[in-house]
Structure formats: C-alpha cells, structure tokens
C-alpha cells in the first residue's frame, strides 16, 4: 500500500487536506499556551502534499500573513519546501528533513562507541535475515513463494520478518548518518 493510500485509510485524503474532524482533533491536542509558530510547525509536519498557505492559516487559527512568515522560516531551515511558482503559495514537508533529524538526535544522545555497537548489532540482524531468506535485500522476499499461501500464520511471520528487516535497514541508515555527523562535528574547526 502506498503512503497516499495509507493516508486515505487513516482519514487524510490524498489531496493532503484533512477533514474537519481531523483538524478539530489536532486543535484539541494543542495546549492553550502554544504559540502560532508552534501550531504552524506541528501542522507543517503533516503537509505530505502541496498545501496552500491559506489552508495552513485556517488549520492553525492564524492569519495567512503569519502562516506565510512561519512557513518561509521553516523553509529556510529545511523543515518544509515551497512548491511551485505563483499563487497561491504552497508548501509541503521536506521528506529529507526527518531522517536528518533522527540522525542528528542519535548523534547528540549517543557516544561514538554506542553508535558503533548499535550499528554492529543491526548489521548482525541484517546478515541473519540474509542467511535465513538466502537473499541480499528484504524486497526480494516473497512470502507466497516461501510458505503455503493457505498457511496464514507462516505468511504473516514472513511478512513480520520482512517488516523488521526493513526497519533494521532504516535504522542502519540513520546510525550511519549519525556517525557521519559526529565525524563532521569532530573535524570542524573550533
């Protein structure tokens, strides 16, 4: 199932504009003390499709000028990206920002040794899955080629392995990125 299909399945239409109920629930989660900037930030993180500034303003209960100012600032620091030229101005979240953020958080919260140890553990899991399924990549595993299609438990167990293997690979990428960030920080002039 694609990301767009999954979004539709959880109540966010493929055009990226949430239902009134979704917006109401989002607003209920905000503390009364949240600033407009904080509300725009939380909303910006959900912009999977190009979304007009006016929609962001409506969702965050602020003026379009305020929403635009904050979105432009978030674009400068890489959280969102402006989409297209012209009017109305539209933004969507920067998909590359989130892996970077996770890697940066790992870099800050773990020592070089801790990152190396965790990465080695993930690599061992990766090698174990490669040996178990005799393929080099989780996308090459076909549950129906391995298990009897009528054996739902076996098929689900294989899918669970594949899902876990994909997670192992994603975590490897994050930790490798965190190690690169640590090396860059250590080699940067003081």
The whole-angstrom separation of Cα 51 and Cα 15 is: 8
* HEC secondary structure over 23-68: HHHHHHHCCCCCCHHHHHHHHHCCCCCCEEHHHHHHHHCCCHHHHH
Categorize the per-residue pLDDT at 6 as very low, low, confident or very high, splitting at 50, 70 and 90.
very low
pLDDT at position 190 is 62
Averaged pLDDT, 159-174: 94
pLDDT per residue over 103-150, tens digit each? 999 999 999 999 999 999 999 999 999 999 999 999 999 999 999 989
Name beta bridge partners: 51: 91
Residue 14 has pLDDT above 90, yes or no: no
Sequence-distant (6+) residues with CB within 8 A of 172 are 119, 122, 123, 126
Q: CATH code for 3-94?
A: 1.10.10.10
pLDDT at position 185 is 83
- pTM, whole model, 2 decimals? 0.59
């Amino acid at each position: 199932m694609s990301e767009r299909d999954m979004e539709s399945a959880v109540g966010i239409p493929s055009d990226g504009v949430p239902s009134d109920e979704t917006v109401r629930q989002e607003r209920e989660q905000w503390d009364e003390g949240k600033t407009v900037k904080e509300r725009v930030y939380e909303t910006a993180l959900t912009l999977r499709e190009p979304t007009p500034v006016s929609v962001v303003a409506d969702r965050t209960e602020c003026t379009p000028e305020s929403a635009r100012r904050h979105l432009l600032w978030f674009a400068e620091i890489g959280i969102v990206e402006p989409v297209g030229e012209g009017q109305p101005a539209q933004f969507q979240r920067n998909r590359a920002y989130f892996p970077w953020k996770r890697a940066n958080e790992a870099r800050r919260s773990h020592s070089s040794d801790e990152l190396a140890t965790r990465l080695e553990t993930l690599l061992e899991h990766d090698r174990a899955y490669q040996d178990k399924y005799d393929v080099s990549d989780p996308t090459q595993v076909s549950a129906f080629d391995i298990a009897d299609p009528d054996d739902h438990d076996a098929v689900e167990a294989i899918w669970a392995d594949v899902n876990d293997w994909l997670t192992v690979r994603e975590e490897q990428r994050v930790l490798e990125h965190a190690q690169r960030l640590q090396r860059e920080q250590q080699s940067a002039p003081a």
